[in-house]
Amino acid sequence: MRKAFGILLLLTQFSCSVPKPEGLILKVQFQPEKTYSISTIRGTETVITYSGQEIAMRKLKSMNVKNPMISKVRTKNDTELVTGKSSADSSFQVSLTYKKTMSLDGKNEIPEGTVMHGKIKGKELPTFSKVVSGMLDFDQKVQLLQAVRNNFEQFDFPEKRLKIGDQFSIDRPMTMPMEGSTIEIIVTTTYKLLSINNNLAQFELSQSYLMTPKTMDNSFTGTGSGKGQLSYDIESCLITDYSIKTDLKMNKKLDYYEFDLKTINEFSQQTKLVNN
């Protein structure tokens, strides 16, 4: 199974209140007894180029390492999110089922029929605690579960009222192993409210990446940025369209060679309310 679980983005929703003249408050909120259909397409292209001393280049060639090394991944996931009846304490069950999964090479990234179970307490974010799949081992289930939790946590927006032109930012920390060291990454995503027309709010998204080696390492450099947009249906309380494209560049110098890594990630998602 690829390590692409962490890139997967899931359904997000905001408060269902009609925006007041002075602005709109964004808040993740799910309603009980609802079914949502979510279609997600993700594409990733990575190019790694090696350069350095001849002895190092011969060693890489003897290990059948291509230079440049190019990899492309394109996946499509059709999922269904279902919420249960609200109980006396305003909590309800939630499940996320992978209905159809396909990739560029024809292999299923996540086995079809995989189900995640969780719970929502009042207006809080969902908490998933269990993965049901006959094709995933224990470690794969843990990886998928943590990835989905992270994806929902990033939509814990500050409760502030936004007017047209206002914006807010969210920082999300990450770590990435690289050649015996660890790169600490802070991804800053900025959401800007562009317009509200016919109960549809349009947002502009921008991302920046701050990459810092955990230990002093002047041989590493890295930058990243992203642009995107989303459409939010206020009446239905969900994001109907979401898309973002990110561009990451990294360079690492070692004793005998160095490598440049360039990655372009494209993500789009469409969400529909199946039942009202």
Give alpha helix (H) positions in the chain. Answer: 54-62, 138-153
For 60-101, how does the pLDDT look when each residue is reduced to its tens digit (9 = 90+)?
A: 899 999 999 999 999 888 999 999 999 999 999 999 999 998
Q: Is residue 225 part of a domain?
A: yes
Q: Is residue 258 part of a domain?
A: yes
Q: For the chain, how many structural domains are there in total? A: 1
CATH number of the domain where residue 62 is located: 2.30.230
Q: Is residue 231 part of a domain?
A: yes
What's the domain range around 213? 31-273
Q: Is residue 22 part of a domain?
A: no
For 162-189, how does the pLDDT look when each residue is reduced to its tens digit (9 = 90+)?
A: 899 999 999 999 888 877 778 899 999 9
Question: What's the rounded Cα separation, in Å, for the pair 136 and 31?
Answer: 30
**Residue that the structure tokens 């002895």 belong to:** 55
Q: Is residue 1 part of a domain?
A: no
Q: Is residue 233 part of a domain?
A: yes
Question: What's the rounded Cα separation, in Å, for the pair 78 and 270?
Answer: 10
Q: Is residue 25 part of a domain?
A: no
For 30-59, how does the pLDDT look when each residue is reduced to its tens digit (9 = 90+)?
A: 789 999 898 988 899 999 999 999 998 998
Q: Is residue 20 part of a domain?
A: no
Kindly report which listed range (21-25, 181-185, 241-245, 259-263) carries the lowest average pLDDT score.
21-25
